[in-house]
Structure 1
Amino acid sequence: MTETGTAAGVPFIAVPPEGGARADAPVVVGWHLMDAPRSEAAFAAALPLAGLDAWRIYLGLPKMGARLPAGGMDELMGLGYEDAVMLMHGPVNAEAADEFDAALGALREQFGIGGALGLFGGSAGAGVALEVTTRRDDVTALVGISPMLQLRPVVATLGKLFGVDYQWTPESEEVADRMDYVARAGALAATPTLLVVGAEDEPTAFLEPAQELVARTTGASDLVVIDGMGHALAEEPGLEPAPQTPHAAEVDAHAVAWFRQHLGA
């Protein structure tokens, strides 16, 4: 039975293992995209990890989903126009990573979860999964979908899309350095890492960094490119659960296979 609530202030959706709840079951925890699906509920519908014998936990990002600013998506987009690094991407990534340990502890206590840990996420949520992995030594498997691996090319791509010429500062450069997971590949240690990128996604922002990260990892790693897929995993507006798209179903199958191989789930 699916459970919803908050864990240490973080909104979550929890789905028990296919084989039934038990203390030794693995747990996979994921964060949604800023694009569709852009809430934990919509992400759970797009990527249910069907058939995985593990707890599946979907966490809401700061400033998104149930924690959208009072002005909703318009206010969030306004923050992005004002300063995409210092007011949106940087804080969302850092705050989500900072709150993870307490949220996971609360979830383990609430549901009696004691098994191995896997992390996954889409786009900005994949960046959070990577950031958390660099901070912990117990992440057994990692899956990033349309992953934000380097902030600078993403900001450049968004700037072209929205007609914004981002002015970098020493402070925003520092954030971009921290969120450059290609340069920080060594901090992932030997964590088995699967990256899934759409063939129609922007190559310099997503495909090329994924190729470089896989080349730099020391543990098991793989890159899967999905033909015909862009950046999003669901149809707009992406706030509420929606039928799974064919591309999301492909991503789901690859993620399940990776977690089964490396988590024994």
Structure 2
Amino acid sequence: MESPITGTAAGVPFTALPPVPSTDNVPAPLIVTWHMLDAPRSDAAFAAALPMNDLPAWRVHLGMPMCGARMVDGSTDAVVELMRKDPLMSYLYPFVRQAFEEFPAALESIRAQLPVDDGPIGVLGGSLGGAVALRVLAESDVPVFAGAVVNAAIRMRSVVDLFPGDYPYDAESEKAVDSLDFLAKADAIAGRAPLLVVSGELDHPGLRADALSLADALGERSELLSIPGLAHPLADEPGIEPAPQLPLAREVDAGLVTWFRRHLADSVISDMR
């Protein structure tokens, strides 16, 4: 396999994996991903956990805010402090908002730097990165041929519930958390692109229930892939540097390759009509 390409796109760090087989600089389709904040918690580590090799498309893994190359002082301490300060309004909500808002410029920069075509893209997100991918589907006008999420933050209230204590919602935080409820936006998502919902059977119960509900709400526009034995993370701690792919991550990866390969083929057929 060719070595990953690293760089920045409009200030966003990325790890890019070329199409397989090589297209010899002929423009190829693009799949963009956003990683988890659990392990793997950087673009490079996510690319190692879910490389989606053997796809005839570029896989460009974008870094989330304050992760990987954007860590403060080379550690996750600053992120942990934001979680402690206010898990929703200092951490979850602004991270998803920033990743979503910086995406259009990053996409334009990727297309300027790499030989990717100008057709619809694929999107993939894991955990909190899943909320970014779902927001791209629900709220952006970027053409998408297919999407996928893995152990995703589908309803942000379910993620807030994972933190200790009762969260003190007020009018502002109620508005913020409701804006990241993608079950409520299922119709918009279904109208944009088919979605693969990957859910570990040992994921947090609330996230697992949301995954099942989203797949059900999307109906024929969705496919559910349950992974027995998979909890929430896809890699071992600390999950910052690339690491060997774990067996359960390999199962997720295989499902993603099958899904995106199918819809890449559908996209080519559609373009020929």
TM norm structure 2: 0.91
* Residue in structure 1 matched with residue 197 of structure 2 by the alignment: 195
| 1:229 corresponds to 2:230 | yes
Q: CA deviation at 1:72?
A: 2.9
Q: Are 1:118 and 2:118 matched, yes or no?
A: no
In 2, Cα distance between the equivalents of 1:23 and 1:207? 40
2:157 aligned to 138, 152, 159, which one? 152
Matched, 1:79 2:82: yes
Aligned counterpart for 1:8 among listed residues 7, 10, 23: 10
Please state whether the residue corresponding to 2:161 is helix, strand or coil: helix
Structure 1 runs (4+) greater than 6 angstroms displaced = none
Cα offset for 1:75? Answer: 2.0
1:23–1:169 Cα change, 3 Å: farther
Kindly indicate whether the alpha-carbon contact (under 8 Å) linking 2:35 and 2:127 is maintained by their aligned counterparts in 1.
Answer: yes
Unaligned runs of 5+ in 1: none
Aligned-pair CA distance for 1:81: 1.3
Alpha-carbon distance in 2 for matches of 1:190, 1:97:
17
Q: Secondary structure at the match of 1:250?
A: helix
Q: In the TM superposition, what is the alpha-carbon distance from 1:71 to its structure 2 partner?
A: 7.6
Distance in structure 2 (CA, Å) of the matches to 1:132 and 1:149: 13
1:109-129: CA deviation from partner (whole Å, max 9, x where unpaired): 111311430000110011111
Match of 1:242 in 2: 243
Deviates more, 1:14-23 or 1:83-92: 14-23
Distance 1:96 1:15 in 2: 20
Q: How many equivalent residue pairs?
A: 260
Calculate the aligned-residue CA RMSD, in Å: 1.5
1:44 is the counterpart of 2:47: yes
- Give the drift of 1:220: 2.2
- Partner of 2:14, secondary structure, is strand
Structure 1 residue 219 displacement after superposition: 5.2
Contact 2:39 2:235 in 1 (8 A): yes
Aligned pairs (5 A) from 1:1-265: 1=2, 2-21=4-23, 22-70=25-73, 72-114=75-117, 115-134=119-138, 135-159=140-164, 164-188=165-189, 189-204=191-206, 206-217=207-218, 220-264=221-265
